[in-house]
Amino acid sequence: MKIKTLIILVLLIPVSGKSYSQHSIEYNRNYIVSKLNSNELNNLYSNTYYSVLDRLDSDGYFPESIIEGTTYPGMYPRTIGALILLFIETGRYEEAERSLKCLLDFMKNKGLYYVPHVVNKENGKLILEDDIFQIDAQAHIILGWSRLALEGKNKEFIDTSWLQVAELMDKTCDRGNLLYSRWSGAPKLVLNTAFEHSREGHYWVTYDLLTQSFVGAALDNMIKLAKLRNDNTHAKHWDEKLRILSEGINNNMLLERDGKQTYIEMLIPNGNGGNKYTGMGWVNFSPVAAGWQCMDQQVLVNTVDYMEKNYLQSTNGIYWMPTDIFPDGKFVNEVVGKGIGWQLDFARITDNNKRIYEILDLIDVSNKGSRVYMEFAWLDGNGYKRNTRITNEDVLGKMKDLKWKMREAGNGEQNVWFCWAIARLRKSMGLNAEPKRI
């Protein structure tokens, strides 16, 4: 597919051309509804959702983990952005405002001009736990706030926090973060100097697809809000930034695979134009989570089709997409919680009922025996441990009878994205987004 120079801004919408008979639609719908209402999945969703809701303090503080001594102490603002999207789906507008207000007030009181990595609480007072700047986390917060504002609720809170969030948006796409010039080393993309990737277990300095997707989505929503508020200065300024970012994605974040344009996961800075990282994984589903992409959805469809054709695995009848796939074709024996959620929502958007079945089955098996949803799970045994690099031959050989093992039930970020995807699927099936408390 030849990419046109004209940039088209679209929200994710169902792909046309899918055709099912009326009988097939009814059958698939009934299967999905029965699966969602099964004791295993219904209990997992209800327990996880109310674990999320109940851990929100009266002041809006949201601890990342429910486990003492965890590797994730404190509140992670990246999760707060996702939490707002979940609460919008379930109509919890007061809780959404409370969590955002907690973070924004903390930043204002501390004189912080950016969203910090971790905020903690000691003796009832909020403290700065980790001041690393992760621009994707900042984009999560702006996106959540802007989506809440566009809902038309909480007008007083939106009015009082508008200038603070507008300033965050300005800084997110200023020349220090959105790099553009005549110099080839400035690809019109947002540089993330601390991208917290599952891949190789370290921060990456990169232009990653997740950051571009969430910044683009935030800009798109903030432009709409600026126009509603008759703030033409901001609207014009952000519109130009979105045009630049869209051009950068179009020119630098695509790779032809099997004769079709697909998204790359990252563009790695190299002092010049950057190197396209050809590995794939959960990051490639980022436009689904952000709900925005700068071109025709077919590029995302091509990306997912390629991944499913080449890397979707099957173990004991359970289909799973590896968390990370490497340029040499090897991949890890692991699935990550939010990645499963994003895949589920993509299957819902594209009316791919077969993938919905498969993903719900994976959720059942990988969380077996757990009250709440996991952070990640892996196939364990026969010498295979978590995050082992493997090939198709491993899966079909010594791994074919392995069982799933999971870590950290109750991880906030993974829990929230799982609940978000299930809530959206339930609504599309005519069920209540918010479950009954078990």
pLDDT of residue 280 exceeding 60, the answer is yes
The per-residue pLDDT of the chain, averaged, comes to: 92
The letter for the amino acid at 125 is K
How many percent of the chain have pLDDT more than 90? 86
Question: Which amino acid does the sequence have at 363?
Answer: I
Of the listed ranges 22-26, 98-102, 120-124, 381-385, the least confidently predicted one is 22-26
- pLDDT value of residue 68: 65
Instruction: Considering the domain delimited by 71-298, tell me its CATH architecture.
Output: Alpha/alpha barrel (1.50)
What is the reported pTM? 0.93
Q: Which of 22 and 225 is assigned the larger pLDDT?
A: 225
Res 158: pLDDT? 96
Q: Count of alpha carbons within 13 Å of 69, Cβ hemisphere only?
A: 0
For the stretch 237-256, pLDDT in tens is 999 999 999 999 999 999 99
User: Does pLDDT of 190 surpass 50?
Assistant: yes
pLDDT digits (tens, 9 = 90+) for 25-45: 444 788 899 999 999 999 999
pLDDT score at 69: 64
For residue 341, the 8-state DSSP code is: H
Residues in Cβ contact with 353 at an 8 Å cutoff, skipping those fewer than 6 apart: 20, 28, 31, 32, 347
Of the pLDDT bands very low, low, confident and very high (cuts 50, 70, 90), residue 294 is confident
- Weakest-pLDDT range from 79-83, 166-170, 229-233, 270-274: 270-274
Distances in whole angstroms, Cα of residue 79 to Cα of each of 11, 61, 86, 285, 418? 22, 11, 10, 17, 12
Domain positions in the chain: 17-55+312-438, 71-298
pLDDT 10s digits, 6-22: 333 334 433 333 333 33
